[in-house]
């Protein structure tokens, strides 16, 4: 064997050894990478799953099972939709359609799951598509985060804000609108009337001889009478009518889309209801009546709300001269 051939063989052998070493290093790195990814998938606090294109579970990590309450074998027999609250089952559909069309790669929604124990939990769900080199959908990577505590806290905060707003607009004693809230609502009704060309009616009512109730039975009895009086009014209006406590023992009612004849009938029905009322307080029965003034707002009128209220008040003043009666304002 010539010296040159030996040199060539040595070079070839060296190159082969170098490639073999490089290959072994690549294999070791790949194994390490797979091990890291596997552990990251398994031990992350996020619920993670590999999901088939038809949305069935292929692989689930520990956290996914803990969040949903199901074991891995149970989840592997299920589709994602089976976990989802019935009202939220179509929430992902528009986004999935976009993924299948290739328009988006991933999306996030907040929806409800049904825990294995039957309780409702809120999750933030992120779905990402994994595709082949040719662009075909291979599978989804799904991540879920339990948002139940945060969502419940958010709902409680919203409820508290709503309650605070209601309290700010409501008369604490009679649970009708307070004067400010009524006027705001009335202004909205005026604007609506201008658009629809429909008028509305106003009733202003005062409890007759209310001072005698306070003097004879005390202010707590008077408060109780105010509550029962307001109930009588409320029981004789439609869902879209609204009532406010205008001050002291005066109440004001707005009747949308109502003419003067209809409003007088409503006021008369209220008057009869109040007249039949017997308020049981301690060992006494308290009876009261009311004086009702009625006025209407014509959609073609240029009158202000103050002028309308003044007309209803003038009509009520006439009614109070007779007590327990209904009087309509006439120009």
**Catalytic positions, please?**
249
Tell me phi and psi for residue 259, to 5 degrees.
-90, 180
Q: Which of 56, 61, 52 is nearest to 76 (CA)?
A: 56
What residues does 247 pair with on adjacent strands? 250
Q: Are 230 and 243 in contact (CB under 8 A)?
A: yes
| Residue 170 buriedness (CB in 10 A; 0-12 / 13-18 / 19+) | middle
Instruction: Report the C-alpha dihedral over residues 65, 70, 73, 78, rounded to 10 degrees.
Output: -100
CA distance linking residue 224 with residue 232, whole number of Å: 13
Beta strands in 15-132 (DSSP E): 47-51, 57-60, 106-114, 120-131
Q: Which residues contact 220 (CB under 8 A, 6 or more apart)?
A: none
Q: What is the CA radius of gyration of the chain?
A: 38
Helical spans, DSSP H, in 197-294: 210-217, 219-234, 260-275
The CB density around residue 206, as the number of other CB atoms within 10 Å, is 21
């Amino acid at each position: 064997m010539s010296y040159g051939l030996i040199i060539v063989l040595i070079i070839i052998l060296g190159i082969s050894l170098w490639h073999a070493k490089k290959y072994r290093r690549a294999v070791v790195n790949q194994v390490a990478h797979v091990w890291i990814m596997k552990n990251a998938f398994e031990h992350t606090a996020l619920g993670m799953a590999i999901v088939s294109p038809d949305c069935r579970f292929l692989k689930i990590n520990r956290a996914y099972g803990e969040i949903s309450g199901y074991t891995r074998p149970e989840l592997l027999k299920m589709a994602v939709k089976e976990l989802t609250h019935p009202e939220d089952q179509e929430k992902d559909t528009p986004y999935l359609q976009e993924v299948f069309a290739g328009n988006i790669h991933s999306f996030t929604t907040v929806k409800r799951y049904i825990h294995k124990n039957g309780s409702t939990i809120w999750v933030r769900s992120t779905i990402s598509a994994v595709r082949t080199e040719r662009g075909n959908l291979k599978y989804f990577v799904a991540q879920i985060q339990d948002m139940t505590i945060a969502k419940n806290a958010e709902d409680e905060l919203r409820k508290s804000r709503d309650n605070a707003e209601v309290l700010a607009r409501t008369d604490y004693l009679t649970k009708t609108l307070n004067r400010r809230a009524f006027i705001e609502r009335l202004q909205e009704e005026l604007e609506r009337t201008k658009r629809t060309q429909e008028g509305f009616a106003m009733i202003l009512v005062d409890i007759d001889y209310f001072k005698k109730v306070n003097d004879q039975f005390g202010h707590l009895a008077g408060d109780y009478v105010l509550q029962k009086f307001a109930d009588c009014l409320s029981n004789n209006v439609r869902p879209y009518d609204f009532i406010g406590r205008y001050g002291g023992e005066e109440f004001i009612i707005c009747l949308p889309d109502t003419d003067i004849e209809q409003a007088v009938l409503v006021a008369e029905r209220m008057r009869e209801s109040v007249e039949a009322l017997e308020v049981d307080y301690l060992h006494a029965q308290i009876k009261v009546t009311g004086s009702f003034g009625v006025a209407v707002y014509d959609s073609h009128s240029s009158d202000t709300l103050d002028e309308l209220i003044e007309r209803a008040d003038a009509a009520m003043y006439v009614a109070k001269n007779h007590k327990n009666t209904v009087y309509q304002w006439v120009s």
